[in-house]
Amino acid sequence: MAEFQLIERYFSGLSRPDGPVALGVGDDCALLDPPPGQRLAMTMDTLIAGRHFLPDADPFSIGHKSLAVNLSDLAAMGASPAWALLSLSLPQVDDSWLSAFTSGFAALAEAHGVALVGGDTCQGSLSITLQLTGFLAPGQEMLRSAARPGDAIYVTGTLGDAALALQLASAGQEPGELAQRLDYPDPRVAEGRSLSRLGVKACIDISDGLVADLGHICRRSSCGARVYLDSLPLSSPVREYLAAGGDYQPVVAGGDDYELCFTVPPALAPQLRDMPVSCIGEITAGEGVELWDGSGKLLPLPRAWEHFSS
Amino acid sequence: MAEFQLIERYFSGLSRPDGPVALGVGDDCALLDPPPGQRLAMTMDTLIAGRHFLPDADPFSIGHKSLAVNLSDLAAMGASPAWALLSLSLPQVDDSWLSAFTSGFAALAEAHGVALVGGDTCQGSLSITLQLTGFLAPGQEMLRSAARPGDAIYVTGTLGDAALALQLASAGQEPGELAQRLDYPDPRVAEGRSLSRLGVKACIDISDGLVADLGHICRRSSCGARVYLDSLPLSSPVREYLAAGGDYQPVVAGGDDYELCFTVPPALAPQLRDMPVSCIGEITAGEGVELWDGSGKLLPLPRAWEHFSS
């Protein structure tokens, strides 16, 4: 099957030539007319088989995840998703794989109003690169560099679910309800928009684990962070795992949660009272992330997952 | 080396936070303010080691080529390049490779005013995905679908140089001056802009060979194309190769030329007289591409290179 037939067959239906999309899949470039006065937020992430997902993972979930991780980056900036370009490298054309992948992608794209407008396909080891563009009003962006000493640190949702699911699955155990969190991350796009409109200025999404990602905020904002383990929001399965003697590593250093971590000056904190977010610590004038337990003891930092950290 | 250090070390210098770039490399998203009234042209291409370049190819040329193939797509639309996102998958962090790759990329980026604003790095087999955005005035785009019967078909530059270089190198022979055409394709961005401003409406870049790419114009425009072999513009080495009995396959079906192929209604043709372009045939009311030799004989189509055409 020739490349252009492949592209047309699977991806043309996702193109939605309306709104800002003047021309979608099928020419040398896509053509877009962004709304006047809006700032573009652009991100691009690659998922590689054997590194970001198991090679035999359900292609529907890979399609979902390839968009979800990029939506999560837009969420962290406070942007509204708009359109995407997809590059797909495949060992061979596999009809059922492609059709499940496309369906997983399409379901999440539909839910977030994302049009697929172009990209590339080629033969190679399985990997997916997605470039996603969204909009925001200039000045409403949330940055890694905008945290200030005295800010309270918050997260959305619960932490450690995806990492514990992976840990259980790797040990041959059944991850149960946690599997959903690993295979179908739910990017916090609406939460990101709300926070940015409330005036939150500093935010990151938790893809590499709380310590690593909050560490990015500290480095970019030239400050430190104090996190209280007892304040971390946990799901029932994670609470049970900890009660049974499991350690905090997956909770503070496990990747793939795709929750938002953001910081808030004291004056803004009351406005968060009705949101499903948890205060987990505070920004300090120091350096790096500190973890404190309930008895006031400073804990050693677990080693974070890092690309290329050989 | 952690991912963020890698990104900062090699790519921050290419970010140029000015013009439309409100925020470059280093946060969850890049932020861009496109000029009002301009249409965005967006393309994304992946280069895979062993498929699009030799695994031991000079990393400087890989850096050049990864940007050049995308610039060529913008050229084919008539757009002016603006900014790029880069996803780099590498087996390991290799300082000298990365620094040569970055230099090759940077040299071409500088020449075309392209800012690198974001992307991703990860560990995996060597592959490069680049997403490039440019601008054009709405209505000035050149499309695959805009050719009409009676149009003359033109190309820029000369055809077959890159394919002959690859053929010679694969046979252990020295490609000489042709090597430059294979390793350092020169995207026809200025030519694309000029043609679009002249009013040319149908264009494609020749990446998969003349027959395949002109075939895309035929399919999208629901028309046919008649190409005269004797009219094809050839470099001296290619002319010598043909005179020595070489066949036309690399000239009409070889990829990697990155010249533009465009069509022009008769009324517009006189305006092309002073441009370095060659008329090679005409668009017909038929279907598909026909090749004719100097004696008026219809030739069999050589098999074009296609992804996944197993």
B171-210 pLDDT, tens digit per residue, is 899 889 999 999 999 999 999 999 999 999 999 999 999 9
End of a domain among A84, A117, A136? A136
Tell me, yes or no, whether B151 and B288 share the same domain: yes
Instruction: Using alpha carbons, select from A271, A265, A253 the residue that is nearest to residue A214.
Output: A253
CB contact under 8 A, B122 and A4: no
CATH of residue B177's domain is: 3.90.650.10
- The last residue of one of the domains, among A113, A136, A159, is A136
Same domain, A18 and A75: yes
- Confidence check: pLDDT of A305 > 80: no
Domain end marker among B101, B136, B171: B136
- Kindly state whether B35 is in contact with chain A, defined as any CB-CB distance less than 8 angstroms: no
Dihedrals φ, ψ of A259, to 5°? -85, 165
Question: Would you say residue B291 lies in a domain?
Answer: yes
B289 and B158 within one domain = yes
Please list every residue in chain B whose beta carbon sits closer than 8 Å to the beta carbon of residue A48. 89, 122-124
pLDDT, one tens digit per residue, over B236-257 is: 999 999 999 999 999 999 888 9
* Residues of chain A positioned with their CB less than 8 A from the CB of B134: 29
Residues B34, B14 share a domain: yes
Strand partners, A77: none
- How many separate domains does chain A show? 2
CATH of the domain at A11: 3.30.1330.10
Domain assignment present for residue A71? The answer is yes
Contacts of B25 in chain A (CB under 8 A): none
Is position B160 within any domain? yes
In a domain, residue A13? The reply is yes
Write the ipTM. Answer: 0.92
**Torsions phi, psi of B237, nearest 5?**
-60, -35
DSSP line for B35-85:
PTTPEEEEEEEEEEBTTTB-TTS-HHHHHHHHHHHHHHHHHHHTPEEEEEE
In the structure, what pLDDT confidence band is assigned to residue A85 with cuts at 50, 70 and 90?
very high
Give kind and range of the element (H or E) at residue B96: helix B95-112
On the question of pLDDT at B78 being above 70, the answer is: yes
* Rounded CA separation A305/B62 (Å): 29
> Which residues are bridge partners to B204 per DSSP?
B261
Closest approach of B134 to chain A, Cα-based (Å) = 9
Q: Do A37 and A119 have their domain in common?
A: yes
Are B128 and B170 in a shared domain? no
pLDDT of residue B255: 85
Per residue in B145-181, pLDDT (tens digit) is 999 999 999 999 999 999 999 999 888 998 899 999 9
Residue B306 within any structural domain of the chain:
no
Half-sphere exposure of A135 (CA within 13 A, CB side): 16
B51 in contact with A, Cβ within 8 Å:
yes
A27 touches chain B (CB under 8 A): yes
Q: Which of B76, B196, B66 is nearest to B131 (CA)?
A: B66
Domain encompassing residue A67:
3-136
For A2, list phi and psi in degrees, rounded to 5. -75, 155
Query: Do B158 and B291 fall into the same domain?
Result: yes
| Contact with chain A for residue B94, Cβ under 8 A | no
Look up residue A32 and give its amino acid.
L
